[in-house]
Amino acid sequence: MTQSATHFISPLTFQALSGNPVCTTLLDTDAENAMGHINLARWADLFLIAPATANVLAKCSHGLADDLVSTLYLAATCPIVMAPAMNQAMWHKTVTQENVQTLIRHGVTLMGPGQGTQACGEMGFGRMSEASEICDFLVSRLHHQDAPPAELSLHGKKVLISAGPTREALDPVRYITNRSSGKMGYALATAAVHAGAQVVLVSGPVALMPPDTVEMVAVESAEQMYAEIMARVQSFDIYIGAAAIADYTPVITQSEKIKKQATEMVITLKKTRDVLAEVACIAKHPFTVGFAAETHDLEHYAQDKLNRKKIDMIAANWVGKAQGGFESADNELHVFWKNGQKTLAMADKNQIAVQLIQLIAERMNEKSTT
C-alpha cells in the first residue's frame, strides 16, 4: 500500500480480511535486511496496481521509484496490470494519456477506467473497473501465463466491434428487426480487452452490459450503426463486424401509428449501406473481420462474402438449428481467410470469443510480416 492508500483504509484491515501481511514502507529495516522489495518482486506471478492513480501512472511511466509500489514496478519481471482510477478531467489530460501510452508500450496491461458517476459527482471515464471484473481478468491471465504469445498479442491495439441487431422503424410503434442477441459481439469485446486491446463497442439494442473497460456506443438503426462505425474506424487496428445489421429498411417511416384498417399492407424497402464492404474499401483499412449467419451452403456463402467484400477474415455459423446461433449461449464458428480456414467447435460463446481473438491476432501478425 502507498501512504496515500493508508489514509483511506488501514493496513490492519487488509491484513485481517486477507490473512496476509501488508507491506507499506520501502525502508522497512527488518524486511530490507533481506532486500524485501526485491524478494516481493521476484515472488509475484503477476503484479496488480489497483487503483492506479494519475500519480502512480506518472511515476511508473517515468521510472521514478520513491515508494514501495513504484519501486516494485521497476523491480518486477512478471506481467503487470494496472486499474486506473481518477477524476474524468485528469484521465483525459494529455499528459495522462501520454503516460498511459508509454506504459502500454512497456508491456503494461490497463484495465479501464470505466465510465459513470464519480465520487466528485462528475460523469465520465475514470471509475476503477469493478473488482469482480478485475479478478476474472487476473484468473484468465494467470491461466494463460504459459500459453503461446498470440493469446496476449493485442496489447496497445485498438479494436472496434459492432454487436446486436438493428431496428428499422415502420412507425413510432413498430419496427423490423432480427433475432440477434448480441452475445457473440459482447463476448468478443471482453476477450479483446483480456488480450490487452482498447475496445469500442457499437451496439444495437440488447439486454446486455459491456465490461466497464469498454467504451460503448448505443445505436438503433442500420443508418446510425453505419454513421458511428465510419466516423471511428480509420483510427482502429481491427474492425470486427459481429452485428446483424438489417439488409433492408423501409423507404418511408410513418410519423404516426399505422392503423389496422386494410386486410393487407405493402411495405416498400430499400437496401441499407454495406458497412463491412465500405470499411474494407478504405485505403488503409483495419484488419477487417466479418460474420455470416447461414441456413445452408455455409462454406460457399462465407467464401463468397470473404472474396466479394475483400475482407481479411469471416466467421460463419449455422442458424435455425437447435444449438448455436442466435439467442443461444453456445456457438460453433467456421472461420475462413485467404488460403486458410479453421473450425471452432461448439462451445460457450465466451470461450469461442477467446479462440477467435487469438486467431485474429495470429492472422494479423502473419499479414504484417508478409
**Binding site: what residues are annotated?**
247, 257, 291, 305, 309
Burial of 43 (0-12, 13-18, 19+ CB in 10 A): exposed
How far the first Cα of the chain sits from its last, in Å, is 47
Q: Which of 23, 78, 120, 135 is catalytic?
A: 120
Give me 61's grid cell. Answer: 511511466
Q: Maximum CA pair distance of the chain? A: 90
Of the candidates 227, 230, 228, 226, the one whose C-alpha atom is nearest the C-alpha of residue 215 is 228
Binding residues for CTP: 247, 257, 291, 305, 309
Q: What are phi and psi of 76, to 5 degrees?
A: -70, 140
CA distance 323 to 326: 9
Q: How remote is the C-alpha of 204 from its chain's centroid?
A: 16
Distance CA 133, CA 83 (A): 11
Q: How big, in percent rounded to 5, are the helix, strand and coil portions of the chain? A: 40, 25, 40
For residue 270, count other CB atoms closer than 10 A to its CB: 9
Whether residue 23 lies in the annotated active site: no
Question: Which residues does the annotation mark as catalytic?
Answer: 120
